[in-house]
Structure 1
Amino acid sequence: MTIQVHDTLIIGGGPGGLTAAIYLRRFRRETIVIDKGRSRLDLIPVTHNFPGFPDGIKGFQLLDNLRCQLGNYGGEVTEGEVTALRKEGDLFVAEYDGGQLRARTVLLATGIADAGLPIENWREAVAAGAVRLCPVCDGFDVLDKRIAIVSSDTNPVGHALFMRTFSSSVTLFERDEVRLDGEQRRKLEAANVRYVLAPLKGITMSEDMTPILHTADDEAHHFDVVYPMLGEAARSDLAQELGARTGNCMELEVDEHQRTTVPGLYAVGDVVKGLNQISVAAGQAAVAATAIHNALPRQFRASPR
């Protein structure tokens, strides 16, 4: 029995993975996309900064559009989770809940996992715009709102100062007993950012789906929107098992062609070092797919008889 070998296995069906798949199918490459259905894009109520949609587009609708476009070229998304990835000679072998796959190249578009707080009605709060995950994406959408920022010791005041350019009402909360130093406090004071001394203990939602932040001194602080900016970790485990080099937050290091340090293994989107944006993931996917196509053996069209 002949074992099928794909030109490219794409792990992750978000905007990066789907864009790469569209390019590769148009390059006439045998491509398979495995996705476990946890794209952060699916959480976004509406994105207003992705080019070509002047009125914005819902996250799930953009995903549907990309899947439909892939379908136009004979591609599809296979539901499942790749649990192991190894190399056997020149081929990659992937284990997933549907069996085993072999491919000449692999593209990782697995994204990141947010380090979050326990927030009641999490998905509903994100859908309502009460909890937001990306200041760069939607700072403009919360102009002059009452904004709460929950930050960690890795970037104590940066997010609060960034959001201060969108609203005059920005308040910074810290978890546990993390305390700002004098220079950090001076930066907040100079920007007129309020800083709550009591550590944050939890977040609930009001009846009209606005965030209430509860602090250790039993106070309840009401806001229009909260950004729980506590950091994230790239979903790069599969690449690390192959020896791929990573940087901060386990983000993969790639070159100008989106190649990791493992030959034949590419990565795009939030799983790599750089700016986490839909448009960035799509651009990286175009670069990676073209590099993959050029690296694979050419498939010349048969001459007409």
Structure 2
Amino acid sequence: MKQADCIIVGGGIAGIQAAIQLGRYKHDIIVIDSAQGRSSIAKAYHNILGWPDGVSGHQLRTLGRQHAEKFDVEFLEDTVTSIEKKRDKFFIHTKKGMEYQAKMIFLGTGITDNIPPIKNIYTTLGTSTYICPDCDGYEIMDKQTVVLGGGNAGAGMALTLLYWSKDIIYVNHLKSKIDEKYRKKLKANQIPVFEEEVEEVLVDAKQQLTAIQLVSGKIIEAEKAFTAFKGNKLNNGLALQLGVHVNENNHVVIHPRTKETNIKGVWAGGDLVAHSEQVTISMGDGTQAAIWIHKRLLGQPLPYD
């Protein structure tokens, strides 16, 4: 059974940043990643310091992994199926049948977006189709934009995007109920609503969105799109398995300063703990948790010990 000072579950932005910091402390670190995180499908982030022209999630993860490997951090592609705490040690089992032991655990298992399998939608994510208005609202500035969503969630997104563009169209792909208060606001802001499923995202030679085709055959021209579907899945199963506390939105509860959970030796960061879902915040979580993991490994007291 392979042992480590800390095993990081999830090789996304928070996990890799924690790995870099812990590697620089010369601890034995293993990152176990299923390669399914949301950052692996994002074609471009535009609001990160140092990347004025944007950077893809794949590039950021690749560079981050190379950075961490300079400090002998080990990366394994596998899926953790269970973690059990026995006294002061953690025992990890994976889908490939491997077993590991660690003194500390960092959970960076993140969130899985609910994006319907509409043709071509994944090829445009981060370049002309977006999910997060705080991240990418700027990208639709004064551009014709279509919101693909369902019910009130999509209506709310359409109204939010008015800050950046007044040329918004809402396609209620799920044909879910839209409350009257939202319908009134959509009408007052001259946002057309189509109650129809999307057949395909039409793209040009550079895989940029040019239009949306509905199942009826109707084509809605647009330069940009946003998705707004309820049902994003917080990957908090391992945390719950360990007895970690979650809040009313099922996000993992952590100490604001150290990022440790209520279970001693279990730390968390990134989208698993923060509804803001920002790459830069995930980086901060990873670094801050690593600093306090290091102190705990040295036997130093934490603020609440």
Give the TM bin, normalised by the shorter chain: 0.7 to 0.9
Q: For residue 98 of structure 1, report the CA deviation from its aligned partner.
A: 5.4
Secondary structure, counterpart of 1:49 in structure 2: coil
Show the counterpart of 1:302: none
Distance 1:123 1:206 in 2: 12
Show the counterpart of 2:303: none
Please tell me the residue identity of whatever aligns with 2:138: F
Q: TM-score, normalised by structure 2?
A: 0.87
Mind listing any 5+ residue stretches in structure 1 that lack a counterpart?
A: 300-305
Identity across matched positions, percent: 27
Show the counterpart of 1:303: none
Q: Deviations over 1:189-245 (max 9, x none)?
A: 34333333x2x3234032525342426x66443322322211311111111112222
**Residue-pair matches, total:** 293
Match of 2:43 among 42, 45, 49: 45
Distance 1:298 1:262 in 2: 17
Two-structure CA RMSD over aligned residues (Å): 2.3
Distance 2:198 2:191 in 1: 21
Note if 1:276 corresponds to 2:292: no
Q: TM-score, normalised by structure 1?
A: 0.87
Show the counterpart of 1:58: 56
Show the counterpart of 1:114: 113
Distance 1:298 1:243 in 2: 23
Distance 1:253 1:191 in 2: 38
Q: Map 1:16-95 onto structure 2 (within 5 A).
A: 16-95=14-93
Contact 1:25 1:31 in 2 (8 A): yes
- In structure 2, the CA distance between the partners of 1:274 and 1:179, relative to structure 1 (3 Å rule), is closer
Deviates more, 1:33-42 or 1:104-113: 33-42
Q: Deviations over 1:90-142 (max 9, x none)?
A: 11111012510111111111111111212113432326x34322222111122
Q: For residue 285 of structure 1, report the CA deviation from its aligned partner.
A: 0.9
Contact 1:33 1:78 in 2 (8 A): yes
Deviates more, 1:244-253 or 1:138-147: 244-253
Contact 2:4 2:30 in 1 (8 A): yes
Contact 1:234 1:249 in 2 (8 A): no
Show the counterpart of 1:254: 254
Distance 1:228 1:156 in 2: 8
Show the counterpart of 1:141: 139
Contact 1:50 1:56 in 2 (8 A): yes
Deviates more, 1:238-247 or 1:271-280: 238-247
Distance 2:63 2:199 in 1: 34
Show the counterpart of 1:243: 243
Distance 2:49 2:102 in 1: 33
Q: For residue 289 of structure 1, report the CA deviation from its aligned partner.
A: 0.9
